[in-house]
C-alpha cells in the first residue's frame, strides 16, 4: 500500500497539514450549503413538501455519489487520482451556482433534484468525496487507516450546523452567504490540488495502482449491522428534529440540537479515545433517557418545551453515541472506503425510511421512541455477545413491551370520551377529536380549528382564534358593513373556520399545500359545506398562487403557521409586494395570524411592512366569556394588520381597548418612530428565525 516508503519529512508534514485543513473545511462547506439551497428554493418553488424533500433526496444522492466516486478513485494510481481530483475541483469552482428565479414554478422532487444537480453536482461530489479520498492519501503515506479524520470531518460539520442559525443566517444576506461559500470552495479546491500534487511528486510509483489486499471481504452480518446502526441513528435524529420542528418550525434552528449531538457522537466515537466502559455507560444513559421521555411525552401530543426538550436531546444524544460507538468498534482494518460507503448508505436509507415510508406506516409520529428502543436492544445484545435469533427476539420483546405498553396507555387516556382519528403523510401529522359537543382539529402540538356540533346554529359559529371579537373577526365585520360583497384570500385552511363569515355573493379562496387538510375540512367539518358564499379550496403554496393570480382581493389572511414555525418566504418584502398588488384595486388589508407561544412576530413584520411603504398594527385580544350569538369557545389571539399608512387612524377605531365592561380586552399597538430596525426587514435574500423566536423561553420556561 505504501508507494513511498521514505517520504521526506517536510513533504509529509505539508501533506498532513493540508489534509487536516481540507477535511473539516469540506465537511463545513457540505453542511453550510444545505440551508442556503433550501432558503433559495422556497421563493422559487413555494413551501411545498416537494421542495424540502427534493433537497433532502438530492443531498443523499450527492453523498452516495461522492462516496462511491472516492471508493473507486482510491483504487487507482496516484497520478490518476491527482488528475481526476484536479479536474473535478476546477469543474466544481467554475460550474457552481444556485438555481435562478426563472426556474420552473411548479415543484416536484425530480425537478428539484435535476435543478440542483445541473448547478451544483460537481461541487457536492468534490465535498463529499474529500474525506474518504484524503483518508486514502494519508494511508499511502504509510499511516494506518486514519479514522481520526472522520472525527475531524464531523467537527467541521458540527461547526456549520451551529454557526448557520446563530451567526450566518442573522448576519449575512443569502447572496453574501453564497459569495463567501464559493470563495471557501475555491480555497478547498486549491488545497486538494496542492496535496495531490505533492503526493504525486513524492510518490515512488505515481503511475502504479495500489497493491490489492487479500482476504478483505466483509462478512454479510457486519455489513447488515453497519447499515442497521447507521440507519437507526439517522432515523432517531430525524424523528427528534420532527418533534422540534412541530414547535419552532422546519428550518436550520430546529436541526441544531439533534444534528449537533448526532455529529458530536461521530467526533467522540471516532476520535480514538472511546473505551468499552463508555459503551456500557451510554447504554444506561439511553435506558434512562428513553424512560424519561416516555413519561413526559411518549406517544402523546404533549408540547415539546423546557423539560421535554431536554429529555428529547438526551435521548437523541445517547442513541447517537451508542450507535456510533458500535460502528467504531466494528470498523475494518482495511478497505475503509467501502466501510464509509456502507455507513453513508445506511444514513441515506434512514433518511428515505423517515421521509417516504414511516409517514405512511405509522399514523402517529412514534418512530423516535421505537428507534431508541431498537438501539437499546442492539446495544444490549452486542454487550452480551448473543446474536441468536431467539435471544434477539426475547430481548427485543422485553425492551419494547414497556415502551409500547406505556404508549398505548397514554393513547387511551388522551381522549377517553372521544374518537381520535389520525392522518399522516409527507406534510406531517394531524388528528381530529370528535365528541358529543364538538370536533377539534390539531397537529402534533397546535390546535388549528374547532366546531361546535350541538345544533345547526352552533355549527355555523366561528370559534377559537376566529371569533367575532378577534382581530380577524372584527376586520371582516367592518369590511362587510362597508361592502355588499367581498373577495377574500386565505393562506392556510385549518378547519375552514373563516368560511363561516362568507355571505351570499362573497368569494373566499383558501390555499393549503397539504392535501389531507383539504380532505379533513370537507369530511370532518361543515364550515365550508354550509357557507353561504362561494368557497374555493386549492392545494397550492399561497404565495405562488397569489403571484400567478389575476384576482383583486379586499382581504388576504396569512394563517399558514404551525406552532411557532414561520414559513419565512410568506413574510418577506417580496411576498408583501405580491400581496398588495392583489389588494391595490380595493385598497385591501393584509392580516397575519401571529398567535404563538415562544415567538414575537410583530417586530419583523412591522419593519418589513415599512420597507414596502406600509404600516403594521398589532391586535392582541382576550375574551373572558362566550355569548349566545358570538365569540364561542374563544382563546387568546394575536393578529397583525398591514395597510397603507393613510388607513391607520381609521383602523385603530375598529379595535377598542375594552368592550362590554371588560368581556373583551385588547392591546393595540403601532410604532410611531420614523426609525426602524433594518436588521429585522425580511427579504428573500435575508431572513432569520432568531429575529422572532425566543429560544431561551422555549428551552427554559416552566
Within-domain flag for 198: yes
- 176/242 same-domain check: no
pLDDT at 30: 94
pLDDT, tens digit, 9 for 90 and up, residues 580-597 = 999 999 999 999 999 988
pLDDT at 41: 82
Residue 537 has pLDDT above 70, yes or no: yes
Q: Three-state secondary structure along 102-119?
A: CCCCCCCHHHHHHHHHHH
Asked which of 97-106, 118-127, 557-566 is least confident by mean pLDDT, the reply is 97-106
Within-domain flag for 343: no
- Report the share of the chain in percent with pLDDT over 90: 48
Among 374, 396, 414, the domain-final residue is 414
Closest CA to 43 of 86, 103, 85, 89: 103
What order do you get walking across the sheet with 534-539 strand by strand?
A: 534-539, 507-512, 487-491, 555-558, 589-593, 637-643, 615-623, 664-669, 658-659
Residue 156 has pLDDT above 70, yes or no: yes
- 237/159 same-domain check: no
pLDDT at 13: 78
Among 373, 391, 414, the domain-final residue is 414
pLDDT at 204: 66
- 204/306 same-domain check: no
Q: What is the mean pLDDT of residues 396-411?
A: 79
- 231/170 same-domain check: no
Neighbours of 132 (CB within 10 A): 27
- 200/226 same-domain check: no
More confident residue, 531 or 135: 531
More confident residue, 679 or 392: 679
DSSP H/E element including 400: helix 389-414
DSSP H/E element including 429: strand 428-434
pLDDT band for position 255 (cuts 50, 70, 90): confident
- 70/196 same-domain check: yes
Within-domain flag for 286: yes
- 179/308 same-domain check: no
- 624/685 same-domain check: yes
CB-based contact 331:147 (threshold 8 Å): yes
- 184/45 same-domain check: yes
**pTM reported for the whole predicted model:** 0.89
Burial 518-534 (b: 16+ CB within 10 A, else e): bebbeebbbbbeebebe
DSSP H/E element including 454: none
Q: What is the mean pLDDT of residues 568-573?
A: 91
- Give the CATH number, domain containing residue 163: 1.20.1250
Q: Where are the alpha helices (DSSP H) in 364-388?
A: 367-384
Within-domain flag for 148: yes
C-alpha span between 261 and 249 (Å, rounded)? 19
pLDDT at 701: 75
Within-domain flag for 125: yes
- Give the CATH number, domain containing residue 477: 3.40.50.150
Within-domain flag for 473: yes
Within-domain flag for 277: yes
- 615/677 same-domain check: yes
Within-domain flag for 193: yes
- 293/186 same-domain check: no
Closest CA to 43 of 612, 515, 541, 583: 541
- 251/121 same-domain check: no
Radius of gyration of the chain (CA): 28
C-alpha span between 192 and 473 (Å, rounded)? 62
Structural domain count, the chain: 3
Asked which of 90-94, 372-376, 394-398 is least confident by mean pLDDT, the reply is 394-398
pLDDT, tens digit, 9 for 90 and up, residues 444-483 = 778 889 999 888 888 999 999 999 999 999 999 999 999 9
More confident residue, 673 or 336: 336
Task: State the cell numbers at 401.
Answer: 413491551
Supply the range of the domain harboring residue 631. Answer: 465-700
C-alpha span between 416 and 95 (Å, rounded)? 60
pLDDT band for position 207 (cuts 50, 70, 90): low
Amino acid at each position: 500500500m505504501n508507494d513511498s516508503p521514505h517520504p521526506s519529512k517536510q513533504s509529509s508534514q505539508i501533506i498532513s497539514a493540508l489534509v487536516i485543513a481540507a477535511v473539516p473545511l469540506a465537511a463545513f462547506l457540505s453542511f453550510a450549503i444545505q440551508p442556503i439551497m433550501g432558503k433559495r428554493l422556497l421563493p422559487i418553488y413555494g413551501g411545498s413538501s416537494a421542495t424540502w424533500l427534493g433537497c433532502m433526496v438530492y443531498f443523499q444522492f450527492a453523498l452516495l455519489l461522492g462516496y462511491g466516486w472516492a471508493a473507486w478513485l482510491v483504487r487507482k494510481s496516484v497520478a490518476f487520482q491527482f488528475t481526476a481530483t484536479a479536474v473535478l475541483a476546477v469543474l466544481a469552482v467554475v460550474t457552481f451556482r444556485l438555481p435562478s428565479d426563472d426556474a420552473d414554478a411548479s415543484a416536484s422532487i425530480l425537478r428539484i433534484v435535476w435543478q440542483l444537480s445541473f448547478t451544483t453536482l460537481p461541487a457536492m461530489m468534490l465535498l463529499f468525496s474529500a474525506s474518504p479520498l484524503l483518508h486514502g492519501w494519508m494511508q499511502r503515506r504509510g499511516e494506518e487507516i486514519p479514522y481520526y479524520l472522520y472525527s475531524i470531518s464531523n467537527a467541521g460539520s458540527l461547526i456549520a450546523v451551529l454557526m448557520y442559525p446563530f451567526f450566518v443566517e442573522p448576519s449575512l444576506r443569502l447572496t453574501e452567504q453564497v459569495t463567501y461559500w464559493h470563495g471557501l470552495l475555491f480555497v478547498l479546491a486549491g488545497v486538494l490540488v496542492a496535496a495531490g500534487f505533492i503526493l504525486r511528486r513524492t510518490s515512488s510509483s505515481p503511475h502504479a495502482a495500489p497493491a490489492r489486499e487479500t482476504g478483505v471481504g466483509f462478512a454479510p452480518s457486519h455489513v447488515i449491522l453497519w447499515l442497521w446502526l447507521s440507519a437507526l441513528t439517522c432515523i432517531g435524529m430525524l424523528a427528534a428534529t420532527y418533534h422540534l420542528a412541530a414547535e419552532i418550525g422546519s428550518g436550520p434552528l430546529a436541526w441544531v440540537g439533534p444534528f449537533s449531538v448526532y455529529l458530536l457522537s461521530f467526533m467522540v466515537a471516532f476520535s480514538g479515545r472511546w473505551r468499552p466502559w463508555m459503551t456500557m455507560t451510554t447504554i444506561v444513559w439511553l435506558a434512562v433517557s428513553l424512560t424519561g421521555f416516555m413519561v413526559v411525552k411518549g406517544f402523546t401530543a404533549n408540547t415539546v418545551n423546557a423539560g421535554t426538550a431536554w429529555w428529547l436531546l438526551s435521548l437523541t444524544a445517547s442513541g447517537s453515541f451508542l450507535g456510533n460507538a458500535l460502528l467504531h468498534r466494528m470498523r475494518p482494518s482495511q478497505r475503509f472506503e467501502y466501510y464509509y460507503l456502507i455507513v453513508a448508505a445506511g444514513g441515506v436509507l434512514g433518511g428515505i425510511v423517515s421521509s417516504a415510508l414511516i409517514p405512511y406506516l405509522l399514523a402517529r409520529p412514534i418512530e423516535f421512541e421505537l428507534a431508541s428502543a431498537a438501539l437499546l436492544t442492539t446495544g444490549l445484545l452486542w454487550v452480551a455477545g448473543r446474536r441468536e435469533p431467539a435471544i434477539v427476539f426475547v430481548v427485543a420483546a422485553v425492551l419494547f413491551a414497556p415502551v409500547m405498553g406505556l404508549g398505548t396507555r397514554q393513547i387511551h387516556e388522551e381522549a377517553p370520551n372521544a374518537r381520535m382519528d389520525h392522518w399522516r403523510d409527507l406534510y406531517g401529522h394531524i388528528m381530529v377529536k370528535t365528541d358529543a359537543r364538538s370536533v377539534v382539529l390539531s397537529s402534533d402540538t397546535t390546535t388549528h380549528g374547532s366546531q361546535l356540533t350541538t345544533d345547526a346554529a352552533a355549527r355555523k359559529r366561528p370559534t377559537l382564534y376566529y371569533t367575532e371579537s378577534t382581530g380577524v373577526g372584527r376586520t371582516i365585520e367592518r369590511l362587510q358593513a362597508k361592502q355588499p360583497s367581498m373577495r377574500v384570500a386565505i393562506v392556510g385552511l385549518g378547519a375552514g373556520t373563516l368560511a363561516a363569515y362568507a355571505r351570499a355573493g362573497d368569494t373566499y379562496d383558501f390555499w393549503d399545500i397539504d392535501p389531507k387538510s383539504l380532505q379533513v375540512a370537507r369530511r370532518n367539518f361543515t364550515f365550508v359545506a354550509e357557507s353561504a358564499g362561494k368557497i374555493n379550496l386549492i392545494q397550492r403554496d399561497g404565495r405562488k398562487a397569489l403571484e400567478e393570480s389575476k384576482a383583486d382581493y379586499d382581504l388576504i389572511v396569512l394563517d399558514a403557521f404551525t406552532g411557532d414555525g414561520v414559513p419565512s418566504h410568506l413574510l418577506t418584502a417580496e411576498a408583501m409586494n405580491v400581496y398588495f398588488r392583489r389588494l391595490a384595486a380595493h385598497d385591501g388589508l393584509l392580516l397575519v395570524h401571529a398567535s404563538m407561544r415562544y415567538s414575537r412576530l410583530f417586530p419583523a413584520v412591522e419593519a418589513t411592512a415599512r420597507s414596502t411603504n406600509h404600516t403594521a398594527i398589532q391586535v392582541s385580544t382576550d375574551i373572558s366569556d362566550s355569548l349566545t350569538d358570538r365569540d364561542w369557545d374563544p382563546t387568546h389571539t394575536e393578529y397583525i394588520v398591514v395597510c397603507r399608512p393613510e388607513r391607520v387612524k381609521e383602523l385603530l377605531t375598529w379595535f377598542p381597548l375594552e368592550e362590554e365592561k371588560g368581556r373583551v380586552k385588547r392591546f393595540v399597538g403601532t410604532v410611531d418612530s420614523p426609525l426602524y430596525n433594518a436588521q429585522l426587514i425580511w427579504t428573500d435574500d435575508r431572513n432569520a428565525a432568531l429575529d422572532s423566536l425566543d429560544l431561551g423561553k422555549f428551552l427554559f420556561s416552566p
